[in-house]
Structure 1
Amino acid sequence: MNLSPVVIAIPIYFLLMAIEMIVLRFQKHPGYRMNDAITNINCGVMSQVTGVFFKIISIGIYTLIFEHYAFFQIPNNTWTFFLLFFLYDFCYYWAHRMSHEVNLFWGGHVVHHSSEEYNLSVALRQSSTQTFWTFFFYFPLAILGFDPVMLILVSGLNLLYQFWIHTEVIGKMGFLEHFMNTPSHHRVHHGRNPKYIDKNHGGTFIIFDKWFGTFQEEEETPTYGITTPVKSWNPFWVNVAHYVTMKEELKQIKGFRDKLNYLFNKPGWLPSYLGGYRAPKEVDSNYSKYDTVVPSTMNWYIFTQYILLLLLTGFFLFQVNSLDLLAKVGVSVLIIWTTVSFSGIFEKRKWYFPQEYLRVLTFDLSVFYLFQGIIPEIVLLSMLGVYTFASFLWLWKNHQLTSEISSASL
């Protein structure tokens, strides 16, 4: 069983999001949009699923350094836990700061900033590639001699702490504002207003920002998102959009040195012959959030299918260590396929309906494979039969929407 604090806390995430939605409704605050919230969670699902494979590399290298190059063998106890927690957040600050200040690294982190809302679901909007650009910032902890198991625990708790600060429900928090990262401080971090960009990088503590000159107090309400909105509900595209832009801009840049400068300078940097650095601009007064509207019947279809996806994903993450490689890869592909499929209806893509029938059948086969030894076969087949019939009927009943989507461009 996967005992990662992040995975164990999944039910708590959704409980807290439900509470936040209720509070926002009483405050008459339109803090959630279904398409945005599902995209946020989809990015988190993709990050957790791909992390099953990618994090093995980062933890493996950390363990290798710890076993062969550590200066000390630091014992695991309460005091060293708190010391590691503090030092981890120090390393996190620099990894996070460089993820904003290095264009290549920003490609991994921009996913988290790309939502134009600010609520607890945004905390789950995590990148599938950021690990590649940040895992080496924690190697000094291995050299000092901190156990890899302790590192995994501390990193999970650090990420858990950052969940609750993604909200507008909580205002300023008095004396805690002086040394802890709070919702107010983190709202600044997610703002695309020029005065807020690249500020408040701390994970748990805000003191590192105050020490190293990247602190900004929350003043006017931030406008959330990135300076060039991604304008898509597709979690795969959200993860690769910045890299695609980089590829196109690299084609225009001459010379190896300028290409390196482009990769490792701040996002927005270009050589002088292409116009030079593109500084962030004030938010246009005519700015409006990206949005799309689909019939409520299809929103309910996606919501129903999404609950089933989350149940499958939860089972997969909890049981991943007991699955063979083929099952891990197969279920991972299905989960990612499903998250992309949902974006098809939100964006009214013409490919949505044909592939959705196939996805439902693939979902059936995967669930049967995973649960045939857990649920009596007759019960399992009956459940899958009802699910398939209801899904196909729901899709068929929306044939008019099918026509609309077929006429939409890719």
Structure 2
Amino acid sequence: MNINPIILSIPIYFLLIGVELVVQWITKKELYRLSDALTNISCGITQQLSGIFLKVLGVGAYVLVYEYFALFEVPSTWYTFIILFVGADFFYYWAHRMSHEINLFWGGHVVHHQSEDYNFSVALRQGSFQIIWTFFFYFPLAIIGFKPVDFVFVSALVTVYQFWIHTETIGKMGWFEIIFNTPSHHRVHHGRNPKYIDKNHAGVFIIWDKMFGTFQKEEEKPTYGITKPINSWNPVWVNFDHYYQMLKQLKEINGFKNKIKFLFYKPGWLPKELGGYQSAPEVDKSNYKKFDTPVNSILSYYVLFQYIMILGATALFLFNYTKLELPYQIATVLGIILTIVNAGALLERKSWAKRSEIIRVLLVVGVAAYAIIFFNFSYLFLIPVVVYFLISMLAMPYSTKLAV
């Protein structure tokens, strides 16, 4: 069973999302939009699923550095735990900061900033490729001699801490903000206003930003998102869009040296002949409008039903995937991703979404029935599969009639 604090905290995450939804209902403020929130959660799902196969970078590389280059063997005590926690947060700051200041690295992190809302679901919106550009920042901790198991646990705690700071429902927090990262500090970080861009990179301790010149206090309310909105509910495409745009621009850039600069300089850098550095534009709030694709309420309920099903399946898989052989892991991951991609297509009212949804439901039911029979589970497990099939097929015609 997976003992990763991030996975174990999932029920708490959704409990807090529920609390925030109650606050929305009471205050009548629009904190959540279904399409955006589900896409945020979908990105979290894809990041966790891809992490199963990319963990060799995040954990395996750390283990190798520790085994071959560790100068000491740091004992596991309460005080070394505190030192490791502070150290992990320090290197998180630099990994995070460079993910904003290097164009190639930004492609792995941009996903987290694409949402134009700001609520607890945004904390779950993570890029699947971010680990590729950040895992090596933590090598100094391995060289010092902090054990891999301790590092994995502590770095997960640094991540878990950051969930609660993704909200507009908590204002400024007085003395606490002097040392620690808070919702106010992090709202700045998610703002696309020029004065807020590339500020407040801290994970837990805001002191790093104050020490290294990247701190900005919250003044006017931020406009959230990225300077060129993604305008998509597809959780797979949003991970590739930045690299696709980079590839198109690389073809226009002449000279090997300029191409390298484009990859490793700040996002927005271009050679002089292409206009030079493209700074973030001011937000025209009078004309600004969030990306949205209104759908009928029946479709919303249908997609929400599918999400509840897939969240349960994802949680079950993440806790037990080590018991499965690689082919079954891959098949399950592909099935989950197919579900959330098609949900996004329904919300975008894609013309092909209804046909692919029928095929997807048939595949899910077929695979589930096969697994029950093949692994000799009780046939009673077929009852929820049949119920799922009937609900999906009966509701689909009504839910999709206004979605195409």
Q: For residue 268 of structure 1, what is the aligned residue in structure 2?
A: 268
SS of equivalent residue, structure 2 residue 162: helix
Is the 2:44–2:126 Cα contact (8 Å) retained in structure 1?
yes
Q: CA–CA distance in 1 between the matches of 2:222 and 2:400?
A: 42
The Cα of 1:75 is off from its aligned counterpart by 0.7
Asked if structure 1 preserves the Cα contact closer than 8 Å seen for 2:354 and 2:400, the reply is no
Secondary structure class of the residue paired with 2:236 = helix
Q: 2:124 aligns to what? A: 124
Find out whether 1:341 has 2:342 as its counterpart: yes
Deviation at 1:369, TM superposition (A): 5.3
**Counterpart amino acid of residue 224 in structure 1:** Y
TM-score (norm 2): 0.97
Distance 1:73 1:46, change over 3 A: same
The residue that corresponds to 1:293 in the other structure is 294
Q: Which residue does 2:251 correspond to in 1?
A: 251
Paired amino acid for 1:400: K
Amino acid of the structure 1 residue aligned with 2:368: V
Task: Say if 1:368 and 1:149 are closer, same or farther in 2 by CA, change over 3 A.
Answer: farther
Taking the aligned partners of 2:370 and 2:59, their CA distance within structure 1 comes to 30
Task: Map 1:144-293 onto structure 2 (within 5 A).
Answer: 144-284=144-284, 285-293=286-294
Q: Distance in 2 between matches of 1:98 and 1:271?
A: 21
Equivalent residue for 1:4? 4
Matched to 2:351, the amino acid is K
Identity %: 53
Partner-residue secondary structure (3-state), 1:47:
helix
Residues 160 and 370 of structure 1: is their aligned pair in 2 closer, same or farther, counting only changes over 3 Å? farther
- 1:374–1:180 distance in 2 versus 1, CA, 3 Å: farther
* 1:323–1:177 Cα change, 3 Å: same
Instruction: Write the letter of the residue equivalent to 1:356.
Output: E
The 1:210–1:22 alpha-carbon spacing in structure 2 relative to 1, beyond 3 Å, is same
After superposition, residues 43-122 of structure 1 pair within 5 angstroms as 43-122=43-122
What is the TM-score normalised by the length of structure 1?
A: 0.96
Q: RMSD of the alignment, in Å?
A: 1.4
Contact 1:84/1:146 (CA < 8 Å) preserved in 2?
Answer: yes
Segment of structure 1 superposing worse, 24-33 or 273-282: 24-33
Task: Check the 8 A contact 1:73/1:146 in 2, yes or no.
Answer: yes
Give how far 1:373 is off: 8.8
1:202-245 Cα deviation digits (max 9, x unpaired): 00000000000000000111000000000000011111110010
**Compared CA separation, residues 370 and 212, structure 1 to 2 (3 A):** farther
Secondary structure of the 1:259 match is helix
Q: Within 2, Cα distance between the matches of 1:67 and 1:398? A: 55
- Distance in 1, matches of 2:17 and 2:373, equals 33
Give the residue type in structure 2 aligned to 1:318. Answer: F
Alpha-carbon distance between aligned partners in 2 of 1:140 and 1:369, rounded to the nearest angstrom: 48
Q: Quick one: distance in 2 between partners of 1:224 and 1:375?
A: 50
**CA deviations over 1:169-219 (Å, ceiling 9, x no partner):** 100111111000000000000000000000000000000000000000001
Secondary structure at the counterpart of residue 52 of structure 2: helix
What does residue 408 of structure 1 align with? none
Deviation for aligned residue 1:287: 0.9
The letter for the 2-side match of 1:288 is K
Quote how far apart the aligned CAs of 1:306 are: 0.6
Structure 2 unaligned blocks of 5 or more: none
Report how far residue 56 of structure 1 moved: 2.3
Residue 326 of structure 1 aligns with which residue?
Answer: 327
Counterpart contact for 1:49–1:332, Cα < 8 Å? yes
State the alpha-carbon separation in 2 of the partners of residues 148 and 192 from structure 1. 36
The offset of 1:398, in angstroms, is 4.6
Quote the Cα distance in structure 2 between the aligned partners of 1:231 and 1:391. 27
Between the two proteins, the alignment pairs up a number of residues equal to: 403
Q: CA deviation at 1:374?
A: 9.1
Cα distance in 1, alignment partners of residues 167 and 8 from structure 2: 21
**2:65 touches 2:142 (CA, 8 Å); kept in 1?**
yes
- Report runs of 4+ in structure 1 exceeding 4 Å deviation: 369-376
- CA offset digits 1:249-295 (Å, max 9, x no partner): 00000011000000000000000000000011110131110001111
**Per-residue Cα deviation, 1:27-48 (whole angstroms, up to 9, x for no partner):** 2210000000000000000000
Query: In terms of mean alpha carbon deviation, does 226-235 or 20-29 score higher?
Result: 20-29
Task: Answer whether contact 1:127 1:239 (CA < 8 A) is retained.
Answer: yes
Distance 1:18 1:259, change over 3 A: same
Report the 3-state secondary structure (helix = DSSP H, G, I; strand = E; otherwise coil) of the residue aligned with 1:209.
Answer: helix
Once residues 351 and 199 of structure 1 are traced to their aligned partners in structure 2, the CA distance between those partners, rounded to angstroms, is: 41
Deviation of 1:397 after TM superposition, in Å, equals 3.6
Contact between 2:296 and 2:399, CA under 8 Å: does it hold in 1? no
Conserved? CA contact 1:24–1:169, under 8 Å: no
Q: Which stretch has the larger CA shift, 109-118 or 353-362? A: 353-362
